[in-house]
Amino acid sequence: MDTEHTATERTATKHTATEHTATQDTAPRDANSKTASSKQGEPSFRKIIHIDMDAFYASVEQRDNPELKGQPVVVGGLPSQRGAVCAASYEARQYGIHSAMPSRSAVQRCEHLIFIKPRFEAYRAVSEQIRAIFFDYTDLVEPLSLDEAYLDVTADKLGIGSAMLIAKQIRDRIRSELQLTASAGVSINKFLAKIASDLNKPDGLSLIAPDQAEAFIEHLPIEEFYGVGPATATKMKALGIHSGADLKSWSQTTLKQAFGKVGGYYYKVARAEDNRPVNPNRIRKSIGAERSFFEDLKQLSEMEIALKKVAEEVHQRLLKNKRNGYTLTLKIKYDNYDTITRARTLETPIREQEEIFQLAKGLLVTNLEKHRPVRLLGITVSNLVSPQPYSQLSLAL
């Protein structure tokens, strides 16, 4: 199904899709979304597209192996290997299967589920092909992952002018050139475009229209706000915040008191405001690695051996990305899936593999609950900086 969807339809029903021809590609009168230019005295606004590939990993596998088309496919580890779901085809999702679900639980929901080992190099190659299409229209492309990105097409390279038409062309090219489908959201800022791309998946094109943005947000359930996770949604509902309109009724000061610094973000998006630019030079915030084990680790010595291998992998990734970091975070997942994270921040950047291991080991020894089997260990380095040469002593001769 290839449909276009407007914000007005969303307020009535989430599942109704009708064709929409974009005749006006302006935006709400929101000063925070203005561009520098104007026409005939009227303010001009950004045109932002969010592209989200549909079940990307699974769709690539179904494309490359026609026998998998129409089948419930999961990309991830086998149940016998205590793996987890990386991605699920839409056929698998009908059984309630989703990413991050233990493979053992997934196969219980669908006995004929087909498991495919991830081919990340193949997915990266396809992702590069998709981005090449994006760059035909704008240089302002901000990848969020292999399968999604923001595009600022306010001044597109081809002079098309309409963000809706550009989004349609991109989706048509992805379908014809790569035999894959993508969903797209169009609006005046990143927050609204991201929400729009989720309105009509899969294979949909949705617009949160200029004069409908604030009304749309007021009707949006709080759990559907981008940036509001399950725990925060539960807290908000306990405080009487069930929709955008409820959120909008709170002052910025009160929101910050209740939710901290992020309260300022909630205050703005409740008013359809988001002035974050599309950043083509988006800097990675953390680098890490983790390992799940076929059998739970019960001895500290076993965990230290496993942790050393994770530290080696993290160090290699830091070298590849030419980064050091000030903060190291250890992740421990127990056999019952209880998960804890503990972090330590240093005054100087973490550089060496042995340093990564010793810091992680110290956090493990200090925080591990005795007699609890461990199924996963992970290490992440954050507060990243570019490597600096070691300072050397200057000797007076």
332-378 per-position pLDDT tens digit: 999 888 999 999 999 899 999 999 999 999 999 999 998 899 999 99
Domain 220-269 sits in CATH 1.10.150.20: yes
**pLDDT, mean of residues 256-261:** 93
Which residue, among 225, 234, 314, has the nearest Cα to 274 in the 3D structure?
225
Residue 72 clears pLDDT 70, i.e. is over it: yes
For 3-15+43-54+122-209, give the CATH class.
alpha beta
At residue 389, the pLDDT reads 61
pLDDT in tens, 203-226: 999 999 888 999 999 999 999 999
Fold of 57-118: MutS, DNA mismatch repair protein, domain I (3.40.1170)
Cβ partners under 8 Å of residue 115, min gap 6 = 74, 76, 77, 78, 79, 83, 103, 107
Residue 317 clears pLDDT 50, i.e. is over it: yes
Whether 148 is catalytic is yes
> What's the mean per-residue pLDDT of the chain?
86
Q: From the candidates 9, 142, 148, 273, which is the catalytic residue?
A: 148
Residue 29 clears pLDDT 70, i.e. is over it: no
* Angle at CA of residue 17, ends 16 and 21, nearest 5°: 145
Residue 11 clears pLDDT 80, i.e. is over it: no
Distance from the first to the final alpha carbon of the chain? 78
Contact 63, 179 (CB under 8 A): yes
Fold of 286-385: Dna Ligase; domain 1 (3.30.1490)
Q: Residue 320: exposed, middle, or buried by beta-carbon count in 10 A (0-12, 13-18, 19+)?
A: exposed
Residue 254 clears pLDDT 80, i.e. is over it: yes
Question: Token digits for 373?
Answer: 């089997």
- Give CA separation, 75 vs 58, 106, 130, in Å: 6, 11, 20
* Domain range summary for the chain, segments of one domain joined by +: 3-15+43-54+122-209, 57-118, 220-269, 286-385
Residue 28 clears pLDDT 80, i.e. is over it: no
Whole-number percent of the chain with pLDDT over 90: 71
